[in-house]
Amino acid sequence: MNDNTILNYGKSPAQTVFKLSWPAIAEQFLICLVSLADMAMVGSIGAYATAAVAITASTTWFLNGYNTALCASFMFIVAHNIGKNRINMVHRAARQAVTLSIISGIIISALSVLISGRLPLWLGAEKDVLQPACDYFRIIGTSLGAVTVSTVISGVMRAAGNTKLPLFANIGANLLNVAGNYILIYPTRNINLFGTAVKMYGAGLGVSGAAISTAASHFVLALFLLVMLYRKPTPVKIKIRGDYRITKRVMKDVFRIGVPVCIERCSLSFGQIILTAMISGLGTVALAAHYLTDQAEGIFYLPSYGLADSATALVGQSLGAKREDLADKFVFLVCIINIIAIAIMCVPVFIFSKEVISLFSNDAQVISQGTATLRLAAAFEVFFSLYIVISGICRGAGDVKIPLIAGFVGMWVIRLISCYILAYKFSMGVAGIWLGIGIDTVFRGLICIFRIKSGKWKYAYKH
C-alpha cells in the first residue's frame, strides 16, 4: 500500500474512519453553529428579517449544487489516482480544480448579482420582506464565487486525507463572520461587561450587515485555502508554475461524475425553490418557522456530511488500489457510526424542540409552528442521513446514477406533490410541508440502502 494513501491512517479500519472523519464532522458542526448564530442575530430583529434571509436561501442551495458536483468530481479523481499512486495525475487534477473553480465562481457571482433585484419578487416575498431580501442576496451573491473555490479546494484536500486544514480554515473564517455580525447588524449600544456599562459600536445595518459579514468570511476562506494548496505538504500540493489548462482526460471524469451529481443537487435545490414559493403562500410566519426548522435540522446531519466526505475519500482510494474488501469494511463502519450519531442527536432535539426554536425567535406563532415542524424533522432524520452518507459512498465509487434517481424522484414525484396536498388540501400548513418532506426522506433512504446491500456500487464505474 503506497505511502500517499489514507487507507492505513489508523491501526484498524475503525480508527482510520474516526481519525479522518472527526475533523470533517467538527467542520460541519462549526458551519452549522455559525449559521445558527447568524439566524439568532437576524431573528432578534423580527420575523420579517428571518423571512428576508429565508426567501433566497433555497436559491443559494441551488447554486451550491454546482459547487457540490464540481467538488465531488475532483474528490473522485484525486482519491482514485492516489489509490493508484499516480501522483503526477493528482497534481494535474489539483491545478485544473483551481482553474475550473475560479472560472465557475466568477460566472456564479455575476449571475447572482444580476438576478438579485428580482429574485425575492419571483419567489413571492411579501412587501415587508421584499427590499431586505433583495439587499441581502445582492451582497451575498458577490461572494458565492468564493464559495465555489473554497468548496472545491477543501474537497481536493479531503480526498487526499487532509481533513484538519479545512476545519481550522473554517474556524477562522466563521469567527470573523460572527464578529462581523455583532458589529454590523446592531446599532451602537451599551453592553454590560462585568457589571460595567460599555459603549459598543455598531453599524446598525440589520439584514444587510449580516450579508456583508458572511460575504467577507467567504472571501477570506477561499483565499486561505488557495494559499494552503500551494504551501501545505500533502499529496495535492502544487507549485504556482505549471499547466493549468483543462484536459480532456480530467474533463471526462468531471462530466461523468459531476453531471449526475449536479442534476441531483440542482433538482433538489430547484425543488426547494418551488417549495419555498409554496410556503410563502402560507404567510411570513410559516416561512420563518420553516426556515428555522430547516436551519436547526442541520444539527442532525452534521455527522452525516462529515462521514460522507470521508467515505468518498476512503472508498475512492480503496477501489483505486483494487481493495474491494477494504471498501466494504469502510462502508459498513461509516453507516453504523452514522446511525448511532443521528440517534444520539435527534432524541434530545425532538424532546426539546420548543426550546431550540425559542433560541432563534421570540415570535409566539413562529415558535408554535416551528416546534411541530422540528419534531417531524427529527422523527425522519435517520433516513435522510443515510441518503447523505450512501451518496458519499457512491461518489467515491463513481456510482452516481442511483443517488440521482432517488433524489430526482423523491423531490419531484414524492416531496412536492405530497407537501402541496398535505399543506393545502388537508389544511395542515407548514406541518404538512414537513410531513411531506419526511415521506420523501424515507423513500430516498430505502433506495440507497438497497443499493449498498446489492454490492453493485463497487463495479458501476468502468475505467
Beta bridge mates, 39: none
Phi and psi (nearest 5°) for 398?
Answer: 80, 15
Average pLDDT over residues 40-56: 78
CB 454 within 8 A of CB 312: no
Phi and psi (nearest 5°) for 3?
Answer: -70, -15
Does the residue 222 lie in any domain?
yes
Which region, left, alpha or beta, applies to residue 196 given φ > 0 means left and ψ of -120 to 50 means alpha?
Answer: beta
CA-closest candidate to residue 297, choices 378, 357, 358, 359: 378
Average pLDDT over residues 362-366: 87
Does the residue 3 lie in any domain?
no
Instruction: For residue 270, give its domain range.
Output: 13-459
Tell me how far apart the alpha carbons of residues 269 and 157 are, in angstroms, rounded to a whole number.
Answer: 26
What's the pLDDT tens digit per position in 112-126? Answer: 999 998 888 887 777
Tell me how far apart the alpha carbons of residues 167 and 30 are, in angstroms, rounded to a whole number.
Answer: 8
The CB density around residue 258, as the number of other CB atoms within 10 Å, is: 23
CB 172 within 8 A of CB 224: yes
The CB density around residue 202, as the number of other CB atoms within 10 Å, is: 16
Does the residue 57 lie in any domain?
yes
Does the residue 159 lie in any domain?
yes
Does the residue 5 lie in any domain?
no
Report the domain count for the chain. 1
**What's 193's DSSP letter?**
E
Residue 292: pLDDT over 90: no
Residue 239: pLDDT over 70: yes
Q: What's the half-sphere exposure (Cβ side, CA atoms, 13 Å) at 380?
A: 20
In percent, how much of the chain has pLDDT > 90?
47
The better pLDDT of the pair 422, 267 is held by 422
CB 125 within 8 A of CB 283: no
Longest dimension (CA), the chain: 68
Residue 33 burial by Cβ neighbours in a 10 Å radius (0-12, 13-18, 19+): middle
Between the two ends of the chain, the Cα-to-Cα distance in Å is: 20
Does the residue 162 lie in any domain?
yes
pTM to 2 decimal places: 0.81
What's the pLDDT tens digit per position in 144-165? Answer: 999 999 999 999 999 998 888 9
CA Rg value for the chain: 22
DSSP calls for 164-190:
HHHHHHHHHHHHHHHHHHHHHTSEEEE
Q: In the structure, what pLDDT confidence band is assigned to residue 1 with cuts at 50, 70 and 90?
A: low
Beta bridge mates, 203: 187
Place of cell 446491500: 453
**What's 66's DSSP letter?**
H
Does the residue 134 lie in any domain?
yes
Residue 35: pLDDT over 80: no
Does the residue 2 lie in any domain?
no
The answer to which of 296-300, 443-447, 459-463 has the lowest mean pLDDT is 459-463
CA-closest candidate to residue 395, choices 67, 161, 5, 77: 77
Residue 226: pLDDT over 90: yes
Residue 450: pLDDT over 60: yes
pLDDT at 103: 96
- Specify the DSSP element, H or E, that contains 335: helix 324-351
